[in-house]
């Protein structure tokens, strides 16, 4: 009886080919894996939480102020004929400010802006009882709007900062001209 002179070699289990790795990767397997991935990804995406609602834009207070000032100026122009020309200019400028702010807010939001409806008309504004109080009210409104925009402008950057700065300058000028 003879014994082998070389000891038997031992190979770890990971080095031995497994029955699974011995199967070749066929075109059918690749297509099946792609199909499963195409079906599973939308299902996984549907299980995620919806994104949180967007926070209010920092320009919203300026927009609300511009709309309120335009309505006040229109009411003053309608109630006091001797102030109609200057109040009409204030109303036109503040309406233009509101439009520019609305466009900028809508541009920055990724959601489609809602269509304005006729039922969303702002409530009518009551002008002050006399022309002197109306003029003072318009001047105070312009002063407050100018201060509000001037305070916000340094916190913004780029186009938005320029928009807030120009609104501040315009309101300051309107207040002085009145």
Percent of the chain clearing pLDDT 90 (strictly above): 54
Domain extents in the chain = 60-110+125-177
pLDDT at position 56 is 84
CA pseudo-torsion sign 152, 154, 156, 162: positive
Lookup: tokens for 57: 């834009």
Q: What is the pLDDT of residues 34-88, one digit of tens each?
A: 888 888 877 777 667 777 777 889 999 999 999 999 999 999 999 999 999 999 9
**Are 93 and 172 within 8 A, CB to CB?**
no
> CB under 8 Å to 29, separation ≥6 — which residues?
none
Q: Which of 89, 68, 57 is nearest to 176 (CA)?
A: 89
Lookup: tokens for 163: 């928009």
| pTM score of the predicted model | 0.67
Confidence of residue 119 (pLDDT cuts 50, 70, 90): very low
Confidence of residue 92 (pLDDT cuts 50, 70, 90): very high
pLDDT of 141 higher than 80: yes
pLDDT at position 93 is 97
């Amino acid at each position: 009886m003879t014994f082998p002179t070389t000891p038997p070699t031992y190979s770890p289990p990971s080095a031995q080919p497994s029955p699974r790795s011995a199967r070749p990767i066929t075109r059918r397997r690749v297509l099946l894996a792609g199909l499963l991935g195409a079906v599973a990804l939308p299902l996984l995406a549907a299980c995620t939480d919806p994104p949180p609602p967007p926070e209010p834009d920092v320009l919203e207070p300026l927009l609300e102020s511009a709309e309120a000032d335009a309505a006040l100026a229109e009411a003053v122009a309608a109630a006091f004929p001797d102030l109609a020309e200057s109040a009409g200019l204030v109303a036109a400028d503040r309406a233009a400010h509101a439009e520019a702010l609305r466009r900028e807010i809508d541009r920055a939001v990724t959601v489609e802006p809602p269509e304005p409806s006729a039922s969303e008309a702002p409530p009518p504004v009551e002008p002050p009882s006399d022309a002197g109080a109306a003029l003072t009210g318009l001047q105070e409104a312009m002063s407050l709007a100018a201060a509000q925009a001037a305070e916000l402008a340094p916190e913004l950057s780029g186009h938005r900062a320029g928009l807030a700065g120009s609104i501040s300058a315009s309101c300051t000028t309107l207040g002085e001209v009145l």
